[in-house]
Structure 1
């Protein structure tokens, strides 16, 4: 099994799950379930690495993904005053704290 991290998400367009290996440009696979997409992606990663080596191209090392407990859940973001004011007003209008509002906005992407 390779050590390249995968990002797996649902695709409405494909009506299935897509698994991408972000360290390997263009390397992805799909499946009806997350497990199927992950298994197909493992095969795609192996094929990607083999093709790159055969072509004499460099193969990037897998990036390290830290476990969840290594993250505190806090980070500082500096924004323009006008954006801060707009976000604070929107949070107040929804009856939530600025932190809750911004977390929700970030979670929705």
Structure 2
């Protein structure tokens, strides 16, 4: 099964201590994984598996997930925290002389 030339999915390879092998993962298909002895083989395996699943989904007229890399993000999202945390962050922001938004953005980027 040939891999798609337009494959823009988000892949990651990490070591699985439990399995004693490298594991290939795809963010857009969290239920899929591929175990292999080398990182290169794990990446090749998960990419091939994703291509097969995408082909099967197309054949069955199923909705195929779009790649995260091609999505546009606004830069805005809401996070709910307990009131005590909100208060503590507001105090920290005031003491630092910055907005709560700037403080939260700084903390999230680290």
TM bracket (short chain): 0.5 to 0.7
TM-score, reference length from structure 1 = 0.56
Comparing both chains, which one has the higher relative contact order based on Cα–Cα distances under 8 Å and sequence gaps of 6 or more? 2
Aligned length: 74
Residue 6 in structure 1 maps to residue 11 in structure 2: yes
What residue ranges of structure 2 are gaps of 5+ in the alignment? 71-80, 89-109
Distance 1:19 1:25 in 2: 11
Match of 2:41 among 23, 36, 40: 36
What stretches of structure 1 move > 4 A for 4+ residues in a row?
A: none
Question: What CA RMSD, in Å, does the superposition of the two structures yield over aligned residues?
Answer: 2.9
Distance 1:9 1:31 in 2: 11
Distance 2:37 2:30 in 1: 23
How far the C-alpha of 1:30 sits from its partner, in A, is: 1.5
Residue 52 in structure 1 maps to residue 68 in structure 2: no
